[in-house]
């Protein structure tokens, strides 16, 4: 039977990554998130710092950015487009790594626009994990030892970055239920309960 791949999009603080790790343990498959940056850097020979700088942050071109690039005495139009294209090139390298992993092994991939990149994979399941906002704040406070105010700021900033990054490179919208096979609220069952629910669903849907 062909390899399968499970992709997980997630709101910050929803526990999506942890849920993916629990599922990966039960399924005995690897899970990839920002480790794909290291793999992409190794396979391409590109400095991993460049991937980290562009990590899930879009280089969206706006009219004001274009105008600054054109009028700035320190930046040529050519240099501006070189910078713009560099992020697209990095995304292409990550895309190649994601496709290669999905072709050669069953796995779980968290983030990285994998839901869209692997949309034509013959055996895939796209999941999106959200949670109640107050629960997300508590999760980030505990995980990162932040005050509630700082946790809320980090959540809003990160979700916005993930949304812009995803929507810039994909034809679907981040977090839109129509872009995924199943969307869950981890506040309802907790992380372990949600992981088990999704595991049962995945086994049935993918015939594992």
CA atoms within 13 A on the CB side of 97: 23
Q: What is the pLDDT of residue 91?
A: 82
Domains of the chain: 5-205 (3.40.50.300)
Annotate the chain with DSSP letters as a single string: ----EEEEEE-TTS-HHHHHHHHHHHHT--EESTHHHHHHHHHH---HHHHHHHTT------HHHHHHHHH-TT--HHHHHHHHHHHHHHHHHHHHHHHHHHHHS-EEEESTTHHHHTTT-SSEEEEEEE--HHHHHHHHHHHHT--HHHHHHHHHHHHHHHHHHHHHH-SS-TT-GGGSSEEEEHHHHHHHHHHHHHHHHHHHHTT-
Higher confidence at residue 186 or residue 40? Answer: 186
Please say if the pLDDT value at position 72 is more than 60: no
Lowest model confidence (mean pLDDT) among 26-30, 65-69, 127-131: 65-69
pTM: 0.82
Compute the average pLDDT of residues 152-180: 93
Q: Are 47 and 41 in contact (CB under 8 A)?
A: yes
CA atoms within 13 A on the CB side of 101: 27
Please say if the pLDDT value at position 64 is more than 80: no
Lowest model confidence (mean pLDDT) among 17-21, 22-26, 161-165, 182-186: 161-165
Averaged confidence pLDDT in the chain: 83
Q: What is the pLDDT of residue 163?
A: 94
What value does the CA radius of gyration of the chain take, rounded to a whole number of Å?
A: 18
């Amino acid at each position: 039977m062909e390899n399968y791949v499970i992709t997980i999009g997630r709101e910050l603080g929803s526990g999506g990554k942890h849920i993916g790790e629990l599922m990966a343990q039960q399924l005995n498959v690897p899970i990839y998130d920002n480790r794909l940056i290291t793999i992409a850097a190794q396979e391409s020979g590109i400095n991993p710092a460049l991937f980290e700088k562009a990590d899930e942050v879009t280089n969206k071109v706006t009219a004001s950015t274009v105008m600054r690039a054109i009028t700035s005495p320190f930046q040529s139009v050519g240099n501006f487009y070189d910078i713009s294209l560099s992020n697209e090139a990095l995304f292409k390298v990550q895309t190649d790594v994601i496709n290669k992993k999905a072709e050669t092994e069953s796995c779980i991939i968290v983030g990285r626009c994998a839901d869209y990149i692997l949309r034509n994979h013959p055996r895939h399941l796209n999941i999106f994990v959200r949670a109640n906002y107050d629960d997300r704040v508590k999760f980030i406070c505990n995980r990162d030892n932040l005050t509630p105010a700082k946790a809320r700021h980090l959540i809003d900033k990160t979700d916005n970055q993930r949304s812009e990054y995803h929507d810039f490179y994909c034809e679907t919208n981040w977090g839109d239920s129509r872009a995924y096979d199943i969307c869950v609220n981890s506040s309802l069952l907790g992380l372990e309960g949600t992981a088990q629910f999704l595991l049962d669903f995945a086994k049935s849907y993918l015939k594992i």
